[in-house]
Amino acid sequence: MKIVINRNILTIFGLASLLTFVLFTTSVYAPTSETGNTTLNASVVVFVDIIPSTQLDTGIFFGAVDSNTIGNPAQNNTNCAAGTCYNISVDSGSNVNIDFYHDLTAVLAATMYVNESASTTSNTAGFTTNTTVATSYSIIGNTTVNCTAITASNNCWIKYYLDVASGTSGGAKTTTYEYCGVETGQGSGDCT
């Protein structure tokens, strides 16, 4: 008897054997973890709170001054424990360091100049050399020592002086002194 094997059956048998071999020799791994990502977003609130001393809040008074004099001190430059009564404090609730700026809304007279000297040390020590207060915002103090990066519960102490050139006309002279506390490094643009 002669056995005839169909070629198609051999092909199917061969493929089935090959597939069985592949299944047993290949390991299949199921994932044990999966990762992903998403956006995390927050808005940090900056809180700035400054407190002027009572004397600064009341006003800066020079009293009677003579023409052709320089360095006339403000009346409260030395009235508080032999030191200045003028200061601006950073409230303990502030959550950023503060830079202090100031300006005059207008000059007292073309021949009169307001100068300031600042300290971050105490009301009696560590004061800068005098710097003229301009009619645009500038940092309180000078380029060496100034009232920048003041932390919560700390102060900027200020003394004020008035220079009066000869020939200055008599009479009362008045202008407005403005001060501003800004988050350190943000500049005076928010001072209005």
User: Which residues are paired to 164 by β-bridges?
Assistant: 69, 112
Contacts 24+ apart (CB under 8 A), 35-39: none
- Write down the pTM of the prediction: 0.79
Q: What is the pLDDT of residues 75-93, one digit of tens each?
A: 999 999 999 999 999 999 9
Spans of the chain below 50 pLDDT: none
Query: Domain boundaries in the chain?
Result: 51-186
Tokens 């048998």 correspond to what residue?
Answer: 13
